[in-house]
A and B are shown apart, each in its own frame.
Chain A
Amino acid sequence: MTQLALVIDLNVCVGCHACVTSCKEWNTSGGAGPLVDLRPYDADPSGTFFNRVQTFEVGEYPNTETVHFPKSCLHCEEPPCVPVCPTGASYKRKEDGIVLVDYDKCIGCKYCSWACPYGVREVDAERRVMTKCTLCVDRIYDEALPEWDRKPACVRACPTNARLYGDIHDPNSVVSQAIRESGGYQLMPEWGTKPANHYLPRRKTKITIRDDELERADNPLKIDSQLPKPNRDEPALDDVTSW
């Protein structure tokens, strides 16, 4: 069974919000109607977004790290938002595991948003129904697009390739490999929601250089020379023979 999902690499995300604007652009132009923007140029703007990038500071100054954290629907494998829906508007697709809202059935009671611990569902103030990330379901199957373009808008927009997309149930997919090999994890595992989207942790990039690696390889540290030990810049035996 297929479970499409995103894998987000926190080690690579630079917090540029390109995925946010690209998501908004694609989904506000879709067949379901625009995502509302209330008072966009006034003091108190508000609007519907399916994707947000948040920023957190980890640690205490001066030993801090900035973590940019993109957050959208995680398309849980045990979605707690689905069974609570009184109309069946909120559902999980069997064929690819995408959690969707049927905007024609939703009554806007907001109950599903209470039942989501991640806060990724937003009521659209003008459409008056619950809206959420669709994993660009109207894009990833669009045969009018070239095959390399059939990916969610956020994935296509990311300039650092921090967003991977694929089937996490296929062990050979790029997302499964990333989860397996780079320590992919789920958010709030304590609730048993089994989010399909995974995150890759921040990693320290380090190389270790030992002293002997800075020396001539054929006689590191001149360990076989006569005592007292010669200086580093003294010629070694192979310097002599190579004259």
Chain B
Amino acid sequence: MHPAFSVIFLTTLIGAGQGLFLALFSIEASAGLGLLPAQDGAFYALGSAAALVLLGLGLFASFFHLGRPERAWRTATKWRTSWLSREVIVLPAFLGIVALYGLVHWTGVNPALGMLPGDQAMTLSGILGILGTVLALALFVSTAMIYAAVKFLQEWHSPLTVVNYTLLGAASGFTLATAYAGWSGVNLVHFLGITAIVLTLLGLVGRVASLLRNARLKPKSTLQTALGVKHPTIKQISMGLMGGSFNTREFFHHQSAGVLRAVKWVFLIGVFAIPVVLLGVAMLMTVDPTPLLIAAFVIQYLGLLAERWFFFAQSNHPQNLYYQAVS
């Protein structure tokens, strides 16, 4: 497939935003249970603002994918059958909840709405946080299912796609949260850093599993089934056009196998190897680790751009069987 930068930015930016929100709420929930030191409202508010910026940028990038962005509101109508429609509903809902969550912490208007067993107060921010967590996970699933649901793209048509979108988004969000904690000087670098490393390593397992799966894939369609001609030797003489068309642009990456291989190693090193090392070193440092943590996030994000590019480029659409030779 042709890797469109609008979609690459959309999926990586909202992934990091969702991960950042999950990190923020996991801090608040743990603090509420007394497992982590409590933070003041400004920490959550600023973190939510950062998540909102990422989500907003992702939403903005997505409009460049559309031919008719002014009709984008129509996409919310077919949520019964289309994962794209579901994503379009969940993303603004999640944006709204994150905004409310940040607002509650910013204004400090955070009344206890009830009591949980064990004398835990159920605060407004807690309810918003749980809602946000559910929506963040729903958004990971909807985004990934857009790809995983297309059975013709066998590289995508796997539960691993959902697992990887979730793990990689969460990992980049937790790496960002670690850098944010380091920058704001709160004592959370270890909790967040270790979680980020664990998520990154889990992401590595999932991504390598999908790479191995895709390397062994056997295409379901062949030139024989595409034409209905049973002869083992068929070659295309002409695709019926010489100047290129939507079919020759949208479904090919137009890069050599060498570039594809190089990008694969770039993202394996950029998303997984370097950030894990940087996060590990940062946690052992006695001086301020913030620059190192920021570098870890930036490198991981750039790596994720390469990962998403590769995700698109690697998938091979059966329609390409009909477009193999110009003339």
**A residues in contact (CB < 8 Å) with B:** 17, 20, 39, 44-49, 52-60, 66-67, 69, 71, 80, 83-89, 105-111, 113-119, 121-123, 125, 128-129, 185-191, 199, 201-202
Top 9 nearest A-B pairs by Cβ distance?
A108-B67, A119-B319, A128-B67, A83-B81, A45-B243, A86-B85, A52-B240, A86-B75, A87-B74
Chain A residue with the shortest CB-CB distance to B87:
A86
Question: How many residues on the B side are at the interface (Cβ–Cβ under 8 A)?
Answer: 57
In the complex, A20 Cα to B153 Cα: how many Å?
28
Which of the residues A48, A60, A109, A115 comes within 8 Å of B65, measured between beta carbons? A109
Which of the residues A59, A106, A115 comes within 8 Å of B231, measured between beta carbons? A59
Q: A107-B66, A117-B221, A188-B221 are in contact. Are A52 and B233 (CB under 8 A)?
A: no
Q: Does the CB pair B152–A187 fall under 8 Å?
A: no
Which of the residues A44, A66, A84 comes within 8 Å of B149, measured between beta carbons? A84
Which of the residues B231, B233, B236 comes within 8 Å of A54, measured between beta carbons? B236
Which of the residues B221, B242, B319 comes within 8 Å of A190, measured between beta carbons? B221
Q: A87-B77, A123-B250, A188-B225 are in contact. Are A109 and B238 (CB under 8 A)?
A: no
| Cβ of B323 under 8 Å from chain A | yes
Q: Does the CB pair B69–A190 fall under 8 Å?
A: no
Q: Does the CB pair B82–A49 fall under 8 Å?
A: no
Q: Does the CB pair A84–B225 fall under 8 Å?
A: no
Q: Does the CB pair B244–A58 fall under 8 Å?
A: no
Q: Does the CB pair B220–A185 fall under 8 Å?
A: no
Q: Does the CB pair A86–B228 fall under 8 Å?
A: no
- 12 A/B residue pairs, CB under 8 Å, sorted by A: A39-B243, A45-B243, A57-B234, A59-B231, A86-B74, A86-B76, A86-B77, A107-B71, A107-B75, A109-B67, A111-B82, A125-B246
In the complex, A190 Cα to B81 Cα: how many Å?
22
User: How would residues 142 to 158 of chain B score, 1 for a CB under 8 Å from any chain A CB and 0 otherwise?
Assistant: 00001001111100000
Q: Does the CB pair B150–A84 fall under 8 Å?
A: yes
| Cβ of B72 under 8 Å from chain A | yes
Q: A86-B82, A87-B78 are in contact. Are A113 and B250 (CB under 8 A)?
A: yes
**B residues in contact (CB < 8 Å) with A:** 1, 65-69, 71-72, 74-78, 81-85, 88, 146, 149-153, 220-221, 223, 225-229, 231, 233-247, 250-251, 317-320, 322-323
Q: Which A residues are in CB contact (< 8 Å) with B322?
A: 54, 71, 118-119
Which of the residues B67, B83, B150, B151 comes within 8 Å of A129, measured between beta carbons? B67
Q: A46-B243, A117-B318 are in contact. Are A80 and B152 (CB under 8 A)?
A: yes
Q: Which A residues are in CB contact (< 8 Å) with B245?
A: 46-49, 122
Q: Which B residues are in CB contact (< 8 Å) with A71?
A: 240, 322
> Smallest Cβ distance from B320 to chain A, in angstroms?
8
In the complex, A48 Cα to B247 Cα: how many Å?
10
In the complex, A87 Cα to B75 Cα: how many Å?
5
Q: Which A residues are in CB contact (< 8 Å) with B231?
A: 58-59
Q: Does the CB pair A119–B244 fall under 8 Å?
A: no
Q: A117-B319, A188-B225 are in contact. Are A52 and B82 (CB under 8 A)?
A: no
Q: Which B residues are in CB contact (< 8 Å) with A109?
A: 65-67, 75, 84
Q: Which B residues are in CB contact (< 8 Å) with A17?
A: 240
